[in-house]
Amino acid sequence: MALSKIQAESMNLADTYAFTGTVSGASADNLIKITETNVTSDVSYVTFEDVFSSTYRNYKCYVIGVAPNSTGNAYGCSIQIKADGGWKTSANGYNIVRNRVYQTGGSTWTHNGSGYRDVKANLTNGINASGSGFFESGTNIIIDILDPLSTDTRKGMVSVSYGGTDVQNVMVQQISWVWEGGGLSALEGFRFLFGAGSIARGRFILYGIKD
């Protein structure tokens, strides 16, 4: 018998059900997965293009356990944006503000707030120095991308990241940055890369945020 409505008490949620067809309507989840890339062997970039639409105004990206394929990488996991049909790689194009707490071996902790301009967005997400730390533990990052299709504001992102090693090197860092060289154009995509070498591993997941 076809049913057009299910009463709240008519289904035992402890039972197991198998559904077919399409279920539509309201959802309790505010984060809707758009795409995911899982890196298990070396790649130069992880790229998200043509992922923004009028369906969602704001987005969130989770980067889990990202690491380079070699040590001695002082840049960390960086981000570049795409607008006006090209990737923004001009020197000193990204204005960056960061607030970080880090430990470099032993018990000494350092708090540092600073700003700078650099190519590749140079976010240094995770350990704040070159060495094996990036590879040992990877870096975890949460990134907010607000209103990327707007043509009224300059494009930027906000990230929170952490990483650590087994030799007491650890960092927690919050970064915000704005691309100043590209005018007010809509954001067409973004990509992850390291300052040297390739991305060896990591999960990159992009979500749309329902209004």
pLDDT of residue 183: 75
* Structural domains of the chain sorted by starting position, each given as residue range(s) with its CATH number in brackets: 31-209 (2.60.120)
Nearest CA to 55 out of 148, 133, 157 is that of 148
Nearest CA to 204 out of 119, 140, 135 is that of 140
Q: How far apart are CA 67 and CA 137, in angstroms?
A: 8
Q: Is 135 helix (H, G, I), strand (E, B) or coil?
A: helix
| Count of residues making up the chain | 211
At 162-205, the pLDDT tens digits run 877 656 677 888 889 888 766 789 999 999 998 777 888 899 99
With beta carbons less than 8 A apart as the criterion, state whether 157 and 176 touch.
Answer: yes
Parts of the chain with a pLDDT under 50: 1, 128-131
